[in-house]
């Protein structure tokens, strides 16, 4: 059943973080039997998530430094996703794919770096990084994470957003992993906003890393197609970069459905890439899959993260 713009956001488990057990078991059992109550429960949990993000941005701004199970130091704030990062439970399948792919690349491009979780994974493996992050509080954590691990001279940090043209744009949302160039993204209030500088990936990479193998991780909360339109030369590079993108269909979009979902996949296919689910056992995504998902207004891929590689290249070995 598809979700209309007025229905509650479908919240994937990988982005919920730790849930508070404030609902009695008998009430949970009743909710599972009622579609309305299930939707209401999901909406209430997401509202709690938004409140915690706002609280961590405006009120409880303290940060915590830990040594993660992955072996690097991480400074982070109050957002539920950061607890998963600290405990080594954040995007486990995507983390495994990135870690395997790093053995065969020369540089890592982290678009939407946030506090630098994936940046740290790449630097830990000796891969140089270009990190893009426009949100001030996230940047402060990113800086601290580079310094704490002794990597301040091994990464280039660009305190700006990427899009299809240079200029200034509005960044909406709080400081967590859900700040977006899309107004009302994921239910965040459009009243929380900042003006940020913007460039294009092609402008930043122009003349650099010629003939080198790049891995581009992009987590830009609904602005993927805009960033890709400013990266057409990067898409056509030889050798072609490997890309990891978050591409939501019915999750988080203020209008209910991602209007660029089909175009993103077709842009990669037109440039000689194959798409795969970013899961433990990656599955190739076909044109028939995308058409079916759009018709049903929901995917059955089990993820909203996708890996794109040159058609002739095999996936990294496990």
Domains of the chain: which residue ranges? 25-60, 63-310
- Note the CATH architecture for domain 63-310: 3-Layer(aba) Sandwich (3.40)
What pLDDT is stored for residue 29 in this prediction?
65
Q: Measured between alpha carbons, how far is 309 from 284 in angstroms, rounded to an integer?
A: 11
Q: Rounded CA gap, 312 and 297, in Å?
A: 31
At 304 the pLDDT is 93
Nearest to 65 by CA among 115, 9, 99, 107: 115
The whole-number pLDDT of residue 185 equals 81
Angle, in degrees to the nearest 10, between helices 92-101 and 117-124 = 30
Give the separation between CA 95 and CA 98, rounded to whole angstroms: 5
Query: What are the C-alpha distances in Å from 102 to residues 138, 276, 309?
Result: 24, 17, 13
* Residue-level length of the chain: 318
pLDDT value of position 20? 46
| 3-class secondary-structure state, position 316 | coil
pTM beyond 0.85, yes or no: no
Q: What tokens appear for 97 in the block?
A: 């794919």
Residue 205 DSSP one-character state: H
Alpha carbon 212 to chain centroid, angstroms = 24
Burial class of residue 5 (count of CB atoms within 10 Å of its CB; 0-12, 13-18, 19+): exposed
**Alpha carbons 86 and 91: distance in angstroms, whole number:** 12
Query: How many CB atoms within 10 Å of residue 259?
Result: 11
pLDDT of residue 9: 44
DSSP 180: B
pLDDT of the residue at 13: 38
List per-block mean pLDDT (blocks of 10 residues) for the chain, which spans 318 residues.
37 42 64 62 63 62 89 89 91 94 97 97 98 94 97 96 97 77 79 92 97 97 96 97 96 89 98 96 96 95 95 66
């Amino acid at each position: 059943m598809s979700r209309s713009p007025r229905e509650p956001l479908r919240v994937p488990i990988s982005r919920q973080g730790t849930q508070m057990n404030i609902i009695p078991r008998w009430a949970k059992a009743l909710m599972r039997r009622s579609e309305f109550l299930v939707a209401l429960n999901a909406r209430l949990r997401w509202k709690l998530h938004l409140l915690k993000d706002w609280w961590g941005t405006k009120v409880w701004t303290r940060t915590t430094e830990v040594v993660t199970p992955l072996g690097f130091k991480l400074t982070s704030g109050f957002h539920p996703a950061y607890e998963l990062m600290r405990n080594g439970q954040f995007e486990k399948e995507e983390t495994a794919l990135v870690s395997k792919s790093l053995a065969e690349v020369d540089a890592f491009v982290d678009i939407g770096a946030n506090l630098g979780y994936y940046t740290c994974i790449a630097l830990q493996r000796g891969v140089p990084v270009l990190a893009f992050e426009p949100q001030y509080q996230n940047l402060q954590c990113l800086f601290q994470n580079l310094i704490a691990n002794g990597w301040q001279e091994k990464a280039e940090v660009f305190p700006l957003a990427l899009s299809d043209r240079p200029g200034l744009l509005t960044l909406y949302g709080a400081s967590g992993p859900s700040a977006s160039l899309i107004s009302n993204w994921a239910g965040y209030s459009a009243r929380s906003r900042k003006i940020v500088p913007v460039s294009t990936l092609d402008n930043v990479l122009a003349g650099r890393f010629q003939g080198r193998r790049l891995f581009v991780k992009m987590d830009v909360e609904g602005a993927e197609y805009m960033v890709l339109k400013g990266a057409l030369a990067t898409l056509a590079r030889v050798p072609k970069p490997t890309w990891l993108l978050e591409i939501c269909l019915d999750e988080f979009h203020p209008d209910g459905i991602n209007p660029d979902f089909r175009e993103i996949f077709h842009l990669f296919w037109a440039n000689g890439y194959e798409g795969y689910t970013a899961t433990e056992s990656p599955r190739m995504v076909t044109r028939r899959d995308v058409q079916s998902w759009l018709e049903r207004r929901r995917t059955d891929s089990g993820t909203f993260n996708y890996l794109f590689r040159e058609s002739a290249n095999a996936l990294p070995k496990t």
